[in-house]
Structure 1
Amino acid sequence: MVSSCELCCEVIIAILLPPLGVCLRHGCCTVEFFICLILTILGYIPGIIYAIYAILFLNRDDYYDEYRRPIYYVA
């Protein structure tokens, strides 16, 4: 579980630089990062909205358990 201080810092970073906030939470070569990067290039506000959504509501660990993990996933 993420501490509230860490979560608050990530949200502040996501407001200032949306792709960096998503990169800290999900990694730099993920789909979430590239979606946030494209949305930030197209418009700053959509990038912020998606970054906050990706930080607060998306949890990739729920989707990558032993039975539902994709073929290309390397543990």
Structure 2
Amino acid sequence: MSLLTQAYLLEQYGPRLSVAQLASLLDIAEGTIRNQVSSGAFAIATYLEGGRRFASYQAVAQYLDAMDGIARKKVA
């Protein structure tokens, strides 16, 4: 996982991202994220704290870096 990706996410969002922040970052609807989490299909690990759902910046960075790797393989 790239330290640059982690540093960017930590700077922009802090140590954890809410569902609203994830939706904005990934450009998908909050409802879609909630549905995917409920069905177990969401690719980023999330957790509940105080009744709200969050993802750690490390989990998001890992996902973004993995998607970048996939995209780079398709181009090559």
User: If the length of structure 2 is used for normalisation, what is the TM-score?
Assistant: 0.41
Q: Of the two structures, which has the highest relative contact order with CA contacts closer than 8 Å and spacing of 6 or more?
A: 2
User: If the length of structure 1 is used for normalisation, what is the TM-score?
Assistant: 0.41
